[in-house]
Amino acid sequence: MNTTAHPMPRWKLLAPLVVALVIALIPTPAGVAPHAWYFFAIFMGCVVGLILEPLPGAVIGLVGVTLASLLSRWVLFSPEQLAMKGFNAANQAFAWAVSGFTNSTVWLIFGAFMFALGYEKTGLGRRIALLLVKSMGKRTLTLGYAVMLADAVLAPFTPSNTARSGGTLYPVIRNLPPLYDSHPNDPSMKRMGSFLMWTAITSTCVTSSLFLTALAPNLLAIALTESATGLTIGWGQWFMAVAPVGIALLLIVPLLCYWLCAPEVKAGSEISSWAREELEKLGALTRNELALIVLVVGALLLWIFAGDVISASLVGLVVICAMLLIGIVTWNDILDNRAAWNTFVWFATLVALAGGLSQVGFVAWFGNLVGGAIGGFDPLLAMLALVVIFYALHYLFASVTAHVTALLPVMLAAASGIAGIDMELFVLLILPTLGFMGILTPYGTGPSPVYYGGGYLPSALWWRLGAIFGLLFLVAWLGLGLPWLLLTH
């Protein structure tokens, strides 16, 4: 058997460079400084790299900030800055390159990954899922609610929805359909498997919007927004903005899945019995599980009520230290958590690159350009149009991170150029769509390929249900969420 890995297509490696060069060679538009245009060229090359993924996202980001720093005299700083007495371009370029690593949101992402590591190491995440399945698994509909609740309980502390849904819940859920003779890639998948898998992926898309820390790109979007506009959105402010719509959707999503992806098996005792057996194997709550419960509840309370006393990022570091001291995780566990370190470098470099767009003046120029073009629009209609465009364009992206990096700075710039728009209201309207949009396609968010590859959700079914639920989420968010924001803002 030939086990040689297939090499990455050369065009995927060359495409980012070609895009950057083509943009750089285009005559600089009126009103934008040449160095800002060249920086934009590098930024767009990185975006194409994030979309095509010829290399890991962290590598693309690292190459981007390194290249911009090396070319800082031509892409980061204006001639006036370079002519300033005592201005050291080399030192300033390096300070910019590593600025993302001191961003508080990047550290919050890292801390939340460590929370997820604690769930995995202690087995608490699996125990929570099994407890819900045991208590609610005798009827198929209530089993759907058990899947939703398991995701909702884990979501505030698991910024990777891939780790939460694909890594913690899916391994439990995939054991359930065969108990009722429901198998993947087979007509029997309709007996129960399709309903359970669709409920799981739909639930995680809602929880990813409901909680700021339930989806890593949410945190990236917050950092990019702060860099571009100076606005800071806290955990509690995000939750209060999304809660009415998010909680309502969580309550009806399993029922909608039950209707639109109807299972043939409506009830039975096999699943509850299996979950009971698995819980017996786990035994009683361990000391580490109890300690982790105390830590995560304490962190949640601090995030909600103590934002003025202790930063959310520092709360994450406190919990990491406590987990190390108690022995929930070891330092080697943290060092071995490749996903956390990869995300840390990835987002730190993306924050620096996106911040650079504002630093060189490109965002201000683009915002004024778009604002002048649609300045006659009613501010509320303009906001709605930008949100719908932002949401629908997710069909073109296989990564919420790439979507955020490519389009959010553009949308923020466009909104800032429209007279009369309340930027804080716009930010609270557009950012929570990041979780919802993951339902649109089989590649829309991290766990989607896991469920798609499981064999219970064939392509035609996913695209049909994805369009229905994607539209439902958008209509619910704009129809209910916008009035709530207008009322409470």
Q: Is the pLDDT of residue 423 over 80?
A: yes
The total of other beta-carbon atoms located within 10 Å of residue 185's CB is 10
pLDDT confidence bin for 307, thresholds 50/70/90: low
Give the model's pLDDT for residue 5: 46
Count of Cβ atoms closer than 10 Å to residue 107 Cβ: 22
Q: Residue 2: which pLDDT band, with cuts at 50, 70 and 90?
A: very low
Q: How confident is the model over 280-308, as a mean pLDDT?
A: 84
Nearest-angstrom CA–CA distance, 262 and 202: 15
> What pLDDT digit, counting tens, does each position of 308-342 carry?
788 777 888 998 999 999 999 999 999 998 878 88
Which residue is listed with tokens 């570091």? 317
Q: Is the predicted pLDDT of residue 466 greater than 90, yes or no?
A: yes
Instruction: Give me the helices (H) in 211-282, please.
Output: 216-229, 235-260, 270-282
pLDDT-based confidence at residue 378 (cuts at 50, 70, 90):
confident
Residue 4: per-residue pLDDT: 43
Q: Does the pLDDT at position 119 exceed 60? A: yes
More confident residue, 180 or 81: 81
| Band (3; pLDDT cuts 50, 70, 90) | very low
pLDDT for res 198: 96
How many CB atoms lie under 10 A from the CB of residue 159? 30
Please state at what angle helix 400-416 crosses helix 34-52, rounded to 10 degrees. Answer: 150
CB environment 245-255: b (16+ within 10 A), e (fewer)? bbeebbeebbe
**pLDDT for 471 beyond 90:** yes
User: Residue 20 carries which side chain, given as an amino acid letter?
Assistant: A
Contact between 238 and 432 (Cβ < 8 Å): yes
304 pLDDT tier (thresholds 50, 70, 90): low
Domain boundaries, the chain: 110-329+449-488
Mean pLDDT is highest, among 377-386, 411-420, 461-470, for: 461-470
| Residues 6+ positions from 225 with CB-CB distance below 8 Å | 231, 233, 408, 412, 427, 431
Q: For residues 470 and 459, what is the distance between their CA atoms, to the nearest angstrom?
A: 16
Answer yes or no: is pLDDT of 1 > 60: no
What band does 362 get if pLDDT is binned at 50, 70 and 90? confident
Residue percentage of the chain with pLDDT more than 90:
36
Higher pLDDT pick, 88 / 114: 88
Sign of the alpha-carbon dihedral angle for 451, 456, 459, 465: negative
238 contacts: CB under 8 Å, gap ≥ 6 = 211, 212, 218, 222, 428, 431, 432
Q: For residues 57 and 265, give the distance between their C-alpha atoms in angstroms, rounded to a whole number.
A: 43
Mean pLDDT value across residues 432-439: 95
Mean pLDDT of 274-291: 88
Residue with tokens 């709550």: 285
Residue pLDDT, tens place only, 205-264 = 999 999 998 998 998 899 889 888 888 888 889 999 999 999 999 999 999 999 999 888
Residue 267 phi, psi (nearest 5): -160, 165
Which pLDDT tens digit goes with each residue over 39-69? 999 988 988 887 787 888 789 889 999 999 9
